[in-house]
Chains A and B, each alone.
Chain A
Amino acid sequence: MTEPAKLELLARSSDAGGFQIVEVNSLHAYSAYKPSRLPQSHWEVTPQPKGADGMHQFVLKNLRQDSYVLLNANEYFLWNHFDGRHSLEEIGRAFHLSFGAFDYAVIRQLLAKLYSCDLLESKRLLDLQLNGATAPDSRWTSRFRWNLRRWCTMSFRVPHADRLCSVIYQRGGFLLFHPFTFYLSLAAAACAMIVALRLGQNAGSFAYFLKARPWLISGLTLATLVAVSILHVLVHALACKAHGRRVREMGFFLLQGIVPTFYADVTDIFMSSRRARIAVDLAGPMVEVVLGSIAILSAHAASPGVGQALLFAVGLALWESALINLYPFNFLEMDGYNILADLTAMPMLRQQALALIPNLYDRLCNVRSMARAEWLQLAYLMLCLISVFIYVIVHIDGLKALLHLT
């Protein structure tokens, strides 16, 4: 480890000519450093429901930059002491008295987090380039990396998303969130379910019609799914507006760098209640449920033929899409996962569960020392692994057929 940096200072005494040379170690300066958070008008903090460990978490929002940081109870304590009047040494002592143990790394990590979101009174220091010292890659490796990076960052944003959503909400979007709309949707879904069971008896003839024009049917179904997923995201954003919060962004990106999808950034809903968050999470899949129900009811009303088969197939595909979206155990942060994270009050559940993997064996050997939160993370991890395993088993025949074809 490198030695702490030192500054040699020459301090002049008030009598003529006298001076003293003082060496100041950066670690001494660090413990005397008095971090100062931005004035209160520049940030907003909202406590989250108690998590599995019985502690609250807090979402801190930088109102100037529209950025958010998640703080645990310890970090929130430190944040409250970053008032520019207490040195890190004093804060460390206060922390020790309150929590019984103290590690300066906690402060260092928090400071790094706060600096990155410009929540501390300090000029931006440096953007450290971490990749400067690595050996140069070969041409192919660097080309591969470049393509991979481009692929992972493939995205676009809708400009002025919040303003756009406000306009849509004011010009009729609010009707979607009226209780009457909700009960009407439930009634439609119930009717569609009964109708679907009846229409299911004609599955054979539907399959016949669909097989007759595979490309047309696949194209139309895909186009419908894309259009509905845009609506799905828009309704998430409108639900956020319905709770008086801001929509940070809307656009298209690769979910976890893999799944191409549309998105609405509704982080501001964390400044609202848990109920509001779950309402926003559920609003999206409701679009598929309602539109799927309408398609199935329309199929019921339509005369037998390709049109009826197509409506039925699209309706089922939309319902399936809603179910996939609501299923939380697939390693993806979809609506079901978000609801699970809200219910367990563990907004970083997926990341925490994945962080368990490197030490999983050790943790399993010492299950007795595991906290409740860790059990939840482990359960999430296991259910995700089982789900993925089952998914692969179920689709293995399809995979074999695909490999055989190629």
Chain B
Amino acid sequence: MQPVSELLKNVSFCQDLNESARSKLGALLISRKISAGAVIFRELDESDCLYIVQAGSIVISKHVQDQVDIVLTRFHAGDFFGEMGLFDTSPRSATAQTETDSILLRLDRKAFQQIFSDEPEMAARICYRLVTVFIERLRATNDQAREAIRWGLEATGFSPAPEHAAFGRRST
């Protein structure tokens, strides 16, 4: 397992930060060990922090029906998730669950707001990188939506209507 200072070098939103900024950020993170299969947060839970995966594997899913969720994505060491919770007070949009035993680093919204007030330049660098990640994830969501629609079309045998599908007689 990588130490926090080393790990942050590989976290995408920290890539524009220098050594001292990273150590300042590291000091604000709270480490948490979670066993496999545990729920980190559920869809519609209160949302107030971001998580960085230090070790293990996290699966993000969204409820579809009964006991079934659709898997949206997976995160591994060096990835982060729950970033919407830093900016938005709306409930969680998906459920996060550990696939294997994992260690997470938690960054609370209050701590993030403290960076904004104390270190605006550092906050700006983080935000710039976060926007890039948001864009990447939005693109991935679009692809996923297209795949889900393709799945639906294939599963129901839907295809464009053949020529002359409808039948008719015009007397002239």
Interface residues of A (CB under 8 A from B): 4-14, 17-19, 21, 26-27, 29-30, 33, 35, 59, 67-70, 88, 107-109, 111-113, 115-117, 122, 125-126, 128, 130, 233, 236-237, 248-249, 253, 255, 261-267, 269-270, 280-281, 284, 325, 333-335, 338, 347-348, 351
Contact = CB atoms under 8 A, between A and B. Distances in A.
B156 interface: yes
Given A267-B169, A281-B171, 18 more contacts: A11-B69, A17-B37, A26-B150, A30-B155, A30-B156, A33-B156, A67-B166, A69-B165, A111-B158, A116-B162, A117-B166, A125-B153, A262-B172, A263-B171, A266-B170, A267-B167, A267-B168, A284-B172
A219 B112 CA distance: 88
Contact of B166 (A88, A116, A281, A347): A116
Contacts of A17: 37-39
Given A19-B37, A68-B168, A125 B70 contact: no
B167 A12 contact: no
A332 to B, nearest CB: 8
Contacts of B71: 8-10, 21
Contacts of B99: 21
Contacts of A265: 168-171
B29 to A, nearest CB: 25
A21 B59 contact: yes
A5 B171 contact: no
B159 interface: yes
A276 to B, nearest CB: 12
A33 B156 CA distance: 6
B153 A117 contact: no
B70 A115 contact: no
A281 B169 CA distance: 10
20 contacts: A4-B154, A5-B150, A6-B151, A10-B68, A10-B97, A17-B39, A21-B59, A26-B150, A30-B157, A59-B167, A108-B159, A112-B159, A112-B162, A113-B162, A125-B152, A125-B153, A125-B156, A265-B169, A266-B169, A333-B170
B155 A263 contact: no
Contacts of A13: 67
Contact of A284 (B150, B154, B171): B171
Interface string B79-94: 0000000000000000
A10 B156 contact: no
Interface in B123-172: 147-162, 164-172
A26 B155 contact: yes
A30 B150 CA distance: 12
A5 B144 CA distance: 10
B64 interface: yes
B131 to A, nearest CB: 28
Given A9-B70, A26-B155, A125-B156, A115 B161 contact: yes
A18 B148 CA distance: 25
